[in-house]
Amino acid sequence: MNPKYPHPILAREGWPFIGVTFAVALLWTLFVGFGFVAAILWVLCVLVTQFFRDPAREVPAMADAVLSPVDGRIVKIEQSVNPTTGEDALMISVFMNIFNVHCQRSPVDGIVEDVQYHPGKFMNADLDKASTENERNAVTARLADGTRITFVQVAGLVARRILCYVQKGDELKKGQRYGFIRFGSRVDMYLPLTATPCVTIGEKVLGTETILAKLGPKA
């Protein structure tokens, strides 16, 4: 586990939001009474709490597997260009709605070679142009055999905060928490063209537990 992020079950990013909504709901109930407004406040507290859940996950024991960095739905599988390395790549995009776990976990074992933040817009993360026009943060990891994989956190329509806890030179382990995006977003994966997808468009995936692709031999 990343020592900078030792908070399973509920993500630390959510503590202020959970605390505030809980306090408001409790105080309203105690001093005003339980009615329609109180019910709405308690429902809001529950929704905020579920958004920031951060459950432990089992890591598949497959050396050549690239894991999903997040929970969500596959919205794109196509040939593209890695925005950090400029290499031709297999792009797999995972879209997260507000009901998904929004913690990002490393899809591979490797060393962080580069981290690039790009300010931008906040369009619906389900749109194709969100990958190039929205606020985003790209992490490139180099595997033991020299393969480079980039995973990009992309902000969404209501997402206004991308958090990344790794920097150049850090070591990543599969399933390690490395970031968080608040309130709806997506993650774009850029893999070597020799990788074989293990998911299909529209499929729902779980962070760490779902295998997105298997790496093939280097060309």
In this prediction, residue 162 carries a pLDDT of 83
Whole-model pTM over 0.75:
yes
**185 given a catalytic annotation:** yes
Q: What is the 3-state secondary structure (H, E, C) of the chain?
A: CCCCCCCCEECHHHHHHHHHHHHHHHHHHHHCCCCHHHHHHHHHHHHHHHHCEECCCCCCCCCCEEECCCCEEEEEEEEEECCCCCCEEEEEEEEECCCCCCEEECCCCEEEEEEEEECCECCCCCCCCHHHHECEEEEEEECCCCCEEEEEEEECCCCCCEEECCCCCCEECCCCEEEEECCCEEEEEEECCCCEECCCCCCEECCCCCEEEECCCCC
CA distance 217 to 180: 32
Domain layout of the chain by residue ranges: 9-54, 65-214
CA distance 37 to 94: 36
**Closest to 79 in 3D by CA, of 206, 219, 195, 211:** 195
In this prediction, residue 1 carries a pLDDT of 43
More reliable by pLDDT, 54 or 202 = 202
Q: Give mean pLDDT, residues 162-173.
A: 90
Helix axis angle, 36-51 to 15-31, nearest 10°: 160
Residue type, 30: L
Paired residues of 148 in beta bridges: 142
More reliable by pLDDT, 53 or 200 = 200
Residue 173 pLDDT greater than 80, yes or no: yes
Predicted confidence (pLDDT) per residue in 61-89, tens digit: 888 899 999 999 999 999 999 988 888 99
Q: Give mean pLDDT, residues 201-219.
A: 87
46-50, 117-121, 130-134: which is most confident: 46-50
Q: Provide CATH code, domain 65-214.
A: 2.70.70.10
Share of the chain above pLDDT 70, in %: 85
